[in-house]
Amino acid sequence: MPVEGWPKGTGDLSLEEWQRDVEETGGDRHSIIVAPGVGSIWETWLACLTTSGWEASNGAKFDLNSNAVRPAGWTSGDAAGLPMFPALVRYDECERGMVEHALRLVVAQTRREYIYPANHYASTIPATSTNHPAMGQRFRLKASFVIPDDWTTEEKAVLRALKKYGAIVADNGHFFSVSICPDDRFAESAFDHLATIDVDNFEVVTTTGPEEGPRSPGAPTVDAGPDQFADLGTTVSLHGTVDALAGATVQWNSYSGPSEAVFTNAASVETEVTFPQTGSYVLELSADDGVHAIAYDAVAVFVAGNERLSNISTRAAIGTGEEVSIGGFIIRGDAPQNVLIRALGPSLTGLGVAGALADPTLELYDGSGEQIATNDNWKEVQEQIIAETGLAPNDAHEAAIWASLMPGNYTAVVAGREESSGVALTEVYELQQSGARLANLSTRGFVGGIDWVMIGGVIITGADPATVVLRGLGPSLAPFGVQEPLANPSPLATNDDWKTTQQAELEATTLAPPNDREPAILTSLPPGFYTAILRGLDGGTEIALLEVYNF
């Protein structure tokens, strides 16, 4: 756990040495633990790691799901009884050009009084000494202060926040200062100019109560609409909604993405937008009524190129128990896609595959684990609709399922009838060459010798190359309950351990394998037919996962 001062102000000390305060440096030694998943913050004062565990002189837990104020007289990790974390300046906020909340302010001395939103004081100076601020006092940078254009992005972001939201007195210290999260991305000189701003450039803001000013009823609410999927070159319609006071300013912005989105009318909740290149975009809708905090919501739009994974398949050995073939695939988009899923066995014999599975069965599950469909012999159900696709299996004992599937995650399980074993091929075909598309195939199965390797196939259609990541996972399957996962999976060519080549590129995709011994390939493939082969290094056998991602 980092303790206040780490890593910028701790010299050559290791984190553990600083946690234990081996040089008896002292200080407030604040610590902050954030658990976003459950909506909790824990903050302490005088945190220290001892031989018997962690100790602290003060502590407080804050519920991020509630705006309730702590009881009067209660302190926290800060003297004012306020949470520290929400008022800290973070790197990402500075990069956006403005910190959009009040800041944590430390002053030399305070009086023996607290005002909303504080609920604790820490002083012997009488409350009547009003030349000293109270805990909870808000200072704001005067509107007349001119922010120099040549100051750093970080300084301008902080000063814009101080002009609009101000800073709230939270603790006593040695000087008039605001607090910033340590981050190695900040340059050493990122905030140097702030020390030149005199306290006379600030004004004291008259406090308001819990139900006044920005906390009064009627705060705006915003809904940017559902996430969307689009093909490059198409126009996307945005359907946001805003509930706000009359005259509120509504604005769409490009929050993130490979380039700037182009809005037809960025000041309208309903507008159209186009994108100059492929990639994932986040668009932000805001409403500002001039009284309350600005309300925001975001919509994600994935813009795909003209390439498509029109077919993805895996050939694997089928056994019993865990040694069935489990194929997961992802449909990405905002509308249904018609797909055909096939489980082939007997027809592989004619292609020279030894030990083909004589009678494969097929089961289809959605992302919640609910079975959608099942099939043994494809002619028994859906014969006509499958035949009309032109992709019907060659053998009546082979299985197939036609389905119209909404975007999401799906799993196809291929096994042998009556626990028979052999080599089978699992295939997923797109039947519509527009709209929603296949984005991923992951097949878990048994990897063995020459005839029992796992072979993944992909067909890329369209006018543009497809950027794909191929992964072979083994050791990282163990935490998910897979018994005896393949210890060291390896493609027959190109890559063994993923960090040996393309490490930085794979990490940038966020799809790097969890284990260093697992292989991965990042490549751009022109339209065509491709095959990926996965085996165990040095003849290793057991369960492995072969994946193909298009992004």
Using pLDDT thresholds of 50, 70 and 90, give the confidence band for residue 129.
very high
DSSP E strands: which ranges in 275-307? 279-288, 295-304
Q: Is the pLDDT of residue 493 over 50?
A: no
At residue 158, the pLDDT reads 98
Q: CB–CB of 341/401 below 8 Å?
A: yes
Q: Of 405 and 455, which is predicted with more confidence? A: 405
For the segment 23-79, what is each residue's pLDDT rounded down to a tens digit? 999 999 999 999 999 999 999 999 999 999 999 998 899 998 988 888 999 999 999
At residue 51, the pLDDT reads 93
Q: CB–CB of 477/489 below 8 Å?
A: no
Average pLDDT over residues 133-160: 96
Q: How far apart are CA 165 and CA 205, in angstroms?
A: 10
Q: How far apart are CA 197 and CA 74, in angstroms?
A: 33
Cα 412 versus chain centre, distance: 26
The DSSP output letter for 503 is H
Q: Is the pLDDT of residue 205 over 80?
A: yes
Q: Which amino acid is it at 373?
A: A
Mean predicted lDDT score pLDDT of the chain: 87
Q: Of 91 and 470, which is predicted with more confidence? A: 91
Q: Of 402 and 511, which is predicted with more confidence? A: 402
Residue 98 contacts by C-beta under 8 Å, 6 or more apart in sequence? 157, 160, 161
For the segment 404-440, what is each residue's pLDDT rounded down to a tens digit? 999 888 988 999 998 898 888 888 888 887 777 776 6
| Start-end of H helices in 165-254 | none
Q: Of 386 and 503, which is predicted with more confidence? A: 386
Using pLDDT thresholds of 50, 70 and 90, give the confidence band for residue 541.
low
Q: CB–CB of 101/86 below 8 Å?
A: yes
* pTM tops 0.85: no
Helix, strand, coil in percent for the chain, rounding step 5? 15, 40, 45
Q: Of 310 and 105, which is predicted with more confidence? A: 105
Q: Is the pLDDT of residue 478 over 80?
A: no
Residue 325 contacts by C-beta under 8 Å, 6 or more apart in sequence? 314, 316, 318, 413, 414, 415, 424, 426, 443, 444, 445
| Start-end of H helices in 45-139 | 91-95
Q: Which two tokens stand for residue 451?
A: 């005839």
Percent of the chain with pLDDT over 90: 54
Residue 19 three-state SS: helix
For the segment 75-127, what is each residue's pLDDT rounded down to a tens digit? 999 999 999 999 999 999 999 999 999 999 999 999 999 999 999 999 999 99
Whether the ω angle into residue 7 lies within 30 degrees of 0, i.e. cis, is yes
Average pLDDT over residues 546-550: 76
At residue 538, the pLDDT reads 62
The end-to-end CA distance of the chain, in Å, is 35
Q: How far apart are CA 332 and CA 437, in angstroms?
A: 6
At residue 375, the pLDDT reads 95
Least confident of 155-159, 238-242, 521-525: 521-525
Q: Of 335 and 169, which is predicted with more confidence? A: 169
Q: Is the pLDDT of residue 531 over 80?
A: no
